[in-house]
A = this chain, B = another copy of it.
């Protein structure tokens, strides 16, 4: 029932219309791991510098995330990203990126991490994603993220990795870019043709869609009147999605559908406060309440129309 995530652990500096933070815990593996930890045992694989303090480790500890495979480079500094959001929270403006110890990141997986049933390859160099996937032959369900930078600079490598995973979780612009196909349904089919079982396309304020061989499933976003900090929302979605899958022995279409909802639930909490603050403090009762909210906002009874007297 365990899940391994490989990806960045970082410090973020953020400026939003609602406030700012100079140095808070961030990174894809962090947001993903925290979110998934509500559903399953998580092993995180990453690298940090000597500037990583007990306050950061405590976040992982509170959620019983196994950090044995987070390498500490004592003389180095942790990956640092600084970004700004305007009132349009859809676009992050990068102000500064210091890769630091992440620049030469070589994931080192213990047997424990290698033996995970479920594996998530967060957004890192596609060749590294492929290497990690090949170190985990027992993984039953492997998903990957990627980003526009890799698709434009090394699309072939992204596709090589695609061919060895079961699922990709990306946003709609990335899906279009990967396939040169403006229609999102055609793009998803083109990606499925690389041999995937599932394609998840994140559409920001419009929700997310799941494509499988069996069909199509669409989830709206949770209706939020204000988004405080969208950093990590995509990874938090992926964490809820993969974590929920990891909690089930059989990965049926029904499980994937509910996983989409739990992913959406977790992402909706993530954006309510800075960084990991909101998810770190989350209760199961809040998760299930929002899951029920999703049911209420999408449910209708299946009653075919029958006209009393045909015209």
Contacts and interface: CB of A to CB of B under 8 A. Distances in A.
Interface of A: 37-39, 41, 63-64, 87-88, 182-186, 203, 205-207, 209, 215-218, 220, 223-226, 244, 247, 254, 257-258, 260-262, 284, 287-288, 291-292, 295-305, 307-308, 311
Copies of the chain in the assembly = 2
A216 B297 CA distance: 6
A207 B220 CA distance: 9
A104 to B, nearest CB: 32
B39 A305 contact: yes
Given A218-B297, A297-B216, A311 B63 contact: yes
A217 B294 CA distance: 9
Contacts of A287: 305
Contacts of A205: 184
B224 A218 contact: no
A87 B182 CA distance: 9
A215 B296 contact: yes
A225 B186 contact: yes
A293 to B, nearest CB: 9
B39 A307 contact: yes
A298 B218 contact: yes
Contacts of A41: 311
Contacts of A207: 206, 218, 220
Among A203, A206, A260, A284, the most chain B Cβ lie within 10 Å of the Cβ of A206
A2 to B, nearest CB: 12
Contacts of A299: 257
Nearest to A287: B305
Contacts of A225: 183, 185-186
Contacts of A217: 297-298, 300
A41 B258 CA distance: 41
A216 to B, nearest CB: 5
A188 to B, nearest CB: 9
Contact of A37 (B216, B224, B311): B311
A307 B1 CA distance: 11
B261 A185 contact: no
A229 to B, nearest CB: 15
B297 A258 contact: no
A292 B300 CA distance: 11
A261 B203 contact: no
B300 A247 contact: no
Contacts of A37: 311
Contacts of A220: 207, 209, 218, 220
A201 B183 CA distance: 22
Among A185, A225, A298, A301, the most chain B Cβ lie within 10 Å of the Cβ of A298
